[in-house]
A and B are shown apart, each in its own frame.
Chain A
């Protein structure tokens, strides 16, 4: 997949650890996924699965005590002359170095979960917008301001010239998130990372923002990594889906397959547990038992096995599943699809019958 001309970002076997005063927290334990050019990849998972840490790794902005100890993030920038894409190894760049900063905000941009706190309260919207533009584009102040006002207009903010001079506290949550998007898109990035951009917003505002992001994506053909815990938003926004559980991607596939033929038991259980409008009123929901364990006490074998409804004792708690490619580009980390191991399994026949 890495050789695929359409890949813009490739994450391979990424391990990220946090070194705290009382031990190492293994936040990512081998994350693999890839983002295709012009596509929207949804990363979905429950709290603590490592989806935000993944975003920080791609931006190379881990907090001081965090480090990517293993694995690789390869970024394939805009096509240069001769249609030869040059590969950038993000994990190899110093986080504060010039090379990384030239990518950050310019080629890969990011928007955050809390619109209320992601703008600096003491500077105007305009000055924060100009910060990004003048840093990455060789323009005069006047040109920069034009680009900035344009960017504000592009995200459908009313009276962009007035918003340019406004302070963040004078704007509503939805307006601030639009400003964040304007800042992120002002330098025409090829990849946008959106970390739960609508979680803190009301449902009608969320609809506004999702609508805007979709329209802008269609217009600019940028790629988006859309991180969320809301399966409805994933279905709405994404082309591909990566489902994460406890620091690993357990399934990556197209959005249609994820919702209509999910293969990993976790994906299936997650989909069953959400209330749907089409349900008969007040039926019982299917639940996943237990909860996500702490990253410092990861269960052996498949990390999901203690909660898995399809667990095979003696197999799932012993062997760590590898990525298995199924048809249609679907990839899954589950021993149920490991023919070799399943063949040795004593419960195989029983299971085969039950299927």
Chain B
């Protein structure tokens, strides 16, 4: 499974890196119902036309502030939510492109072996009534991959691979701490040998010193098993440390996507610039004045007109409040959704 093969991608061009997942114009609108008849009076556009693609073996970061739709995007990709619109194409090693968004529940169930998810909250993500054997082994049991002694061996192997002793197999999750629970969650995600894992804020609930342990583990497992990650986080330093490519989201849309270093060095969108500027730097000698955004993130049920960022943008002009800028490529692999991406010269942090 770990073998990396070069594949001809669907466009016909041969690439040394193949696309594993391609998301096109993904939308997830939650209806707002009101009144006695539960009439739909509007939609929360949690995800509103998101497109990106992830290369095999990459860690693709999705970053943004709370309510920007990054977690919803992750859950749509996993089909834990049924998206309103858009395409999610997964390039399977054997079966070629698969349209995840239109799979029937039974087909999806089979396909779930390839992609797994780990969650943010180490306490809510493990069922307190089950032992580690049952938790980590559940995907194997459901998909009838292993049972009995074989199951035990496999669970032991999985626990060992995330740095936990197999002796813990018969214990319940309440004996474990946040960091250990995230390891258990990772072991469960690895159980079916997936090639793609959605890591939804995997370290944001952890203490500083434990965070480093889990980040290292995520990295090590990627190398070992040839995993591809969709890495969702709000902490820019963690994103910078872990990801190869980054997409920045704002109110349900991607405003900028680029290779990590490039994005941190040369942001093209004013929001990215502000986000980067706001990162507290753990060095008192490098204090500097920051870009302070006015106001708050808009409510995704009632977003502003035009470019969603224009009310807070220091560079906004008239057109920004009228037209919504498309996501355009301005440099190889570097796209932004800003009318003035070319004109502005924004400052990065590297």
Chains A and B in contact, CB within 8 Å: yes
Residues of A with Cβ closer than 8 Å to B? 46-47, 172, 174-175, 202-208, 210-211, 229-236, 238, 255-256, 258-260, 269-271, 273-279, 281-288, 291-292
- A residues in contact with B282, CB < 8 Å: 231-232, 234-235, 259, 271, 274, 276
Answer whether A285 and B234 are a contact pair too, CB < 8 Å, given A204-B65, A231-B282: no
Residues of B with Cβ closer than 8 Å to A? 59, 65-66, 177, 179, 207-213, 215-216, 219, 234-238, 240-242, 244, 260-261, 264, 274-275, 277-285, 287, 290-293, 296-297, 349-350
Among A203, A211, A231, A287, the one with the most B-chain Cβ atoms within 10 Å of its Cβ is A203
Query: Please, how many angstroms separate the alpha-carbon atoms of A275 and B212 in the complex?
Result: 8
- B residues in contact with A281, CB < 8 Å: 240-241, 244, 260-261
- A residues in contact with B208, CB < 8 Å: 46, 229, 231, 270, 273-274
| Cβ–Cβ contact B284 & A235, under 8 A | yes
- A residues in contact with B291, CB < 8 Å: 207
Q: Between A and B, how many residue pairs show CB distances below 8 Å?
A: 135
- A residues in contact with B297, CB < 8 Å: 202
| Cβ–Cβ contact B278 & A282, under 8 A | no
Query: Please, how many angstroms separate the alpha-carbon atoms of A238 and B264 in the complex?
Result: 26
| Cβ–Cβ contact B281 & A207, under 8 A | no
Q: Which 3 A-B pairs have the closest CB atoms?
A: A232-B280, A275-B241, A207-B278
| Cβ–Cβ contact B280 & A287, under 8 A | no
- A residues in contact with B207, CB < 8 Å: 46-47, 229, 291-292
- B residues in contact with A47, CB < 8 Å: 207
Among A207, A211, A258, A284, the one with the most B-chain Cβ atoms within 10 Å of its Cβ is A207
Answer whether A236 and B65 are a contact pair too, CB < 8 Å, given A203-B234, A271-B282, A275-B240: no
Q: Besides A47-B207, A270-B209, A283-B241, 16 other CB < 8 A contacts?
A: A46-B209, A202-B234, A203-B65, A203-B235, A204-B274, A231-B282, A234-B282, A259-B285, A274-B212, A275-B238, A275-B240, A277-B264, A279-B240, A281-B240, A282-B244, A285-B215
- B residues in contact with A204, CB < 8 Å: 65, 274-275, 278, 293
- Please pick, from B209, B238, B278, the residue contacting A273 in the complex, using a CB distance under 8 A: B209
**Minimal Cβ-Cβ distance residue in B for A231:** B282
- A residues in contact with B349, CB < 8 Å: 277
Query: Please, how many angstroms separate the alpha-carbon atoms of A31 and B215 in the complex?
Result: 32
- A residues in contact with B66, CB < 8 Å: 202
- B residues in contact with A208, CB < 8 Å: 292-293
Query: Please, how many angstroms separate the alpha-carbon atoms of A206 and B279 in the complex?
Result: 9
| Cβ–Cβ contact B292 & A277, under 8 A | no
Query: Please, how many angstroms separate the alpha-carbon atoms of A277 and B275 in the complex?
Result: 13
- A residues in contact with B279, CB < 8 Å: 203, 232, 277
- For this complex, 22 residue pairs linking A to B, each with C-beta atoms less than 8 Å apart, are A46-B208, A47-B207, A203-B236, A204-B274, A207-B277, A207-B290, A207-B293, A210-B280, A211-B290, A232-B237, A232-B281, A233-B280, A260-B284, A269-B209, A276-B241, A282-B241, A285-B216, A286-B212, A287-B209, A287-B212, A287-B216, A291-B207
| Cβ–Cβ contact B280 & A236, under 8 A | yes
- B residues in contact with A282, CB < 8 Å: 59, 219, 241-242, 244
**Minimal Cβ-Cβ distance residue in B for A203:** B278
Query: Please, how many angstroms separate the alpha-carbon atoms of A233 and B237 in the complex?
Result: 13
- A residues in contact with B283, CB < 8 Å: 235, 259
**Minimal Cβ-Cβ distance residue in A for B242:** A282
- A residues in contact with B293, CB < 8 Å: 204, 207-208
| Cβ–Cβ contact B216 & A284, under 8 A | yes
Query: Please, how many angstroms separate the alpha-carbon atoms of A72 and B246 in the complex?
Result: 51
Instruction: Say how far A218's CB is from chain B's closest CB, in angstroms.
Output: 13
- A residues in contact with B287, CB < 8 Å: 235-236
Query: Please, how many angstroms separate the alpha-carbon atoms of A311 and B167 in the complex?
Result: 28
Answer whether A284 and B296 are a contact pair too, CB < 8 Å, given A204-B65, A276-B237, A292-B207: no
Query: Please, how many angstroms separate the alpha-carbon atoms of A271 and B281 in the complex?
Result: 12
| Cβ–Cβ contact B65 & A291, under 8 A | no
Query: Please, how many angstroms separate the alpha-carbon atoms of A221 and B59 in the complex?
Result: 46
Query: Please, how many angstroms separate the alpha-carbon atoms of A207 and B293 in the complex?
Result: 8
- B residues in contact with A256, CB < 8 Å: 284-285
Among A256, A270, A278, the one with the most B-chain Cβ atoms within 10 Å of its Cβ is A278
- B residues in contact with A278, CB < 8 Å: 350
Among A238, A271, A274, the one with the most B-chain Cβ atoms within 10 Å of its Cβ is A274
- Please pick, from A259, A273, A276, A284, the residue contacting B219 in the complex, using a CB distance under 8 A: A284
- A residues in contact with B235, CB < 8 Å: 203
Instruction: Say how far A129's CB is from chain B's closest CB, in angstroms.
Output: 21
| Cβ–Cβ contact B241 & A255, under 8 A | no
Query: Please, how many angstroms separate the alpha-carbon atoms of A259 and B296 in the complex?
Result: 32
Instruction: Say how far A254's CB is from chain B's closest CB, in angstroms.
Output: 9
- Please pick, from A203, A258, A279, A285, the residue contacting B275 in the complex, using a CB distance under 8 A: A203
- B residues in contact with A291, CB < 8 Å: 177, 179, 207, 209-210
Query: Please, how many angstroms separate the alpha-carbon atoms of A230 and B280 in the complex?
Result: 9
Query: Please, how many angstroms separate the alpha-carbon atoms of A278 and B281 in the complex?
Result: 10
Among B65, B212, B213, the one with the most A-chain Cβ atoms within 10 Å of its Cβ is B212
Query: Please, how many angstroms separate the alpha-carbon atoms of A207 and B240 in the complex?
Result: 19
**Minimal Cβ-Cβ distance residue in A for B223:** A282
Instruction: Say how far B272's CB is from chain A's closest CB, in angstroms.
Output: 11
Query: Please, how many angstroms separate the alpha-carbon atoms of A282 and B236 in the complex?
Result: 14
- B residues in contact with A236, CB < 8 Å: 280-281, 284, 287
**Minimal Cβ-Cβ distance residue in B for A258:** B284
| Cβ–Cβ contact A206 & B237, under 8 A | no
| Cβ–Cβ contact B219 & A205, under 8 A | no
| Cβ–Cβ contact A172 & B296, under 8 A | yes
- A residues in contact with B285, CB < 8 Å: 256, 259-260
- A residues in contact with B211, CB < 8 Å: 273-274
Query: Please, how many angstroms separate the alpha-carbon atoms of A233 and B281 in the complex?
Result: 7
- B residues in contact with A276, CB < 8 Å: 237, 241, 282
| Cβ–Cβ contact B292 & A211, under 8 A | yes
- B residues in contact with A255, CB < 8 Å: 284
| Cβ–Cβ contact B241 & A175, under 8 A | no
Instruction: Say how far A174's CB is from chain B's closest CB, in angstroms.
Output: 6
